[in-house]
């Protein structure tokens, strides 16, 4: 079993082909996942794990759903 990754808006091109079942090592954090995906940390404004607010140092476990959101502007 792996994790499910969702990258939104400008982060969508970073989504791996196996995003629905991405392997996560024990002790993996959002920070290490973001590095593997090649996304600069400054490009991420919001992180959710299983619909709850998370942070770069939050641990990821098998079966988790991880959502990554960039800063959004408008007006």
Q: What is the pTM (predicted TM-score) of this model?
A: 0.93
CATH classification at residue 41: 3.10.20.30
Please give, one letter per residue, the 3-state secondary structure of the chain.
CCEEEEECHHHHHHCCCCHHHECCCCCCEHHHHHHHHCCCHHHCCEEEECCEEECCCCECCCCCEEEEECCCCCC
Whether the per-residue pLDDT at 25 is higher than 80: the answer is: yes
Asked if the structure places residue 74 within a domain, the reply is no
Rg (CA), the chain: 12
Whether the per-residue pLDDT at 69 is higher than 90: the answer is: yes
**What percent of the chain lies above the pLDDT cut of 90?**
93
Reported as a pLDDT band with limits 50, 70 and 90, residue 73 is: confident
Range of the domain at 32: 4-69
Asked if the structure places residue 75 within a domain, the reply is no
Asked if the structure places residue 23 within a domain, the reply is yes
Residues 50-58 have a mean pLDDT of 98
Asked if the structure places residue 64 within a domain, the reply is yes
Whether the per-residue pLDDT at 41 is higher than 90: the answer is: yes
Q: 2: which strand partners? A: none
- The domain tally of the chain equals 1
């Amino acid at each position: 079993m792996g994790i499910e990754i969702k990258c939104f808006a400008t982060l969508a091109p970073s989504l791996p082909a196996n995003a629905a079942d991405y392997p996560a090592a024990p002790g993996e954090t959002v920070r290490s996942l973001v590095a593997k995906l090649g996304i600069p940390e400054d490009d991420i404004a919001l992180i959710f794990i299983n619909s709850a607010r998370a942070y770069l140092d939050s641990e990821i476990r098998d079966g988790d759903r991880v959502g990554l959101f960039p800063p959004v502007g408008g007006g």
